[in-house]
């Protein structure tokens, strides 16, 4: 995304292991691997960090599990080949909520498996089709990307629209499910209250109903906060002043289409001097 030549020609790892902060002995061993292995690693890094995160926004537990394994495994590889303190552990901790149950029940595991296999197959095929590589065994760098800068920028700008729609739909479904569960619990507790002695002024079941109402309020407040942060996160990816994606007119049109549907106060909040969300470019600037 940065347009850096080392990332674009797949040679970033030729410099990364020796130029990172406080490299350790395993980093020296990683630096000694063949060039083709490091180029394959860069290409797989693109796949894991660009394509796989989309699976986190699909409310299917098996898909989120695949994304968790790949993304957490990637962070473990960084720990083994570098020294970034708690940065990688923090990222793994942020991935833990993806292991929560999805929308499929235990009785519909076949449907879940069908959806998972279909989406993973489509994701891998789409990545191989749009982000292909070319091989030349006689060249000093045998792997080269088979697409141009502008093609990649347009693809990423359009994929942001898909990401925003899928993420918003998944978040809405998750919030509705949480609210319904809270309401069902209140209704169930109300039924218990009806079974209590009418002479009791305030029975233990009444306390449960009151606790359920408070829990519903907290759930709804959490949903509002979740939608707020989701909108800010989308804005962080559509900031036309900072993204290199905005260099092509078609990419600008795709990004502006997303910003059109975001409330104006959120846009002003993101554009303020004290931004509360933004891109993290450590590796981009290091290499």
Q: Per residue in 151-183, pLDDT tens?
A: 777 777 777 778 788 888 888 988 898 898 888
Q: Which residue has the higher pLDDT, 47 or 60?
A: 47
Q: What is the rounded average pLDDT of the residues 189-207? A: 54
Mean pLDDT computed over 271-284: 50
Ranking 19-28, 117-126, 167-176, 187-196 by mean pLDDT, the lowest is 187-196
Please indicate, yes or no, whether the overall pTM of this predicted structure exceeds 0.75. Answer: no
Checking if the pLDDT of 56 tops 70, the result is: yes
Region 218-246 average pLDDT: 71
Q: Say how many C-beta atoms besides its own lie within 10 A of residue 126's C-beta.
A: 13
Tens of pLDDT along 26-45?
888 988 988 888 989 998 99
Assess contact for 251 and 153: CB atoms under 8 A: yes
Mean pLDDT, residues 254-261 taken together: 56
pLDDT at 15 over 50: yes
Predicted local distance difference test score (pLDDT) of residue 241: 42
Cα radius of gyration (the chain): 24
pLDDT at site 274: 46
User: β-strand 133-135 against 143-145: which pairing, if any?
Assistant: antiparallel
Tell me what pLDDT residue 260 has: 55
Confidence category of residue 50, pLDDT binned at 50, 70, 90: confident
pLDDT band for position 149 (50/70/90)? Answer: confident
The closest of 33, 54, 46 to 6, measured between CA atoms, is 46
pLDDT at 287 over 60: no
The pLDDT of residue 263: 57
Q: What is the mean predicted confidence (pLDDT) over 231-247?
A: 56
* pLDDT of 76: 93
Mean pLDDT of 66-84: 91
Q: What is the mean pLDDT of residues 275-287?
A: 49
Least confident of 15-19, 85-89, 229-233, 274-278: 274-278
pLDDT at 77: 92
């Amino acid at each position: 995304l940065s347009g850096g030549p080392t990332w674009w020609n797949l040679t970033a790892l030729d410099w990364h292991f020796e130029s990172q902060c406080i490299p350790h002995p395993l980093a020296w061993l990683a630096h000694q691997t063949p060039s083709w292995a490091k180029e394959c690693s860069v290409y797989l890094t693109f796949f894991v960090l660009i394509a796989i995160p989309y699976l986190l926004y699909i409310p299917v537990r098996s898909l989120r599990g695949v994304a968790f394994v790949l993304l957490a495994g990637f962070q473990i590889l960084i720990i083994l080949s570098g020294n970034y303190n708690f940065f990688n552990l923090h990222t793994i901790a942020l991935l833990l909520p993806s292991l929560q149950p999805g929308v499929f029940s235990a009785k519909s595991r076949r449907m879940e498996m069908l959806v998972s296999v279909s989406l993973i197959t489509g994701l891998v095929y789409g990545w191989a089709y749009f982000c292909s590589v070319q091989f030349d065994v006689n060249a000093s760098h045998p792997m080269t990307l088979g697409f141009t800068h502008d093609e990649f920028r347009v693809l990423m700008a359009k994929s942001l629209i898909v990401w925003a729609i899928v993420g918003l739909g998944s978040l809405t479904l998750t919030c509705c499910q949480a609210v319904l569960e809270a309401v069902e619990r209140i209704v169930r507790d109300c039924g218990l209250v009806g079974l209590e002695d009418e002479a009791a002024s305030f029975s233990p079941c009444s306390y449960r109903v009151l606790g359920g109402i408070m829990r519903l309020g907290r759930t709804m407040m959490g949903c509002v906060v979740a939608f707020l942060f989701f909108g800010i996160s989308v804005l962080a990816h559509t900031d036309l002043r900072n993204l290199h994606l905005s260099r092509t007119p078609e990419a600008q049109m795709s990004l502006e289409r997303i910003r059109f549907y975001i409330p104006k106060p959120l846009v002003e909040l993101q554009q303020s001097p004290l931004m509360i969300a933004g891109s993290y470019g450590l590796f981009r600037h290091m290499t």
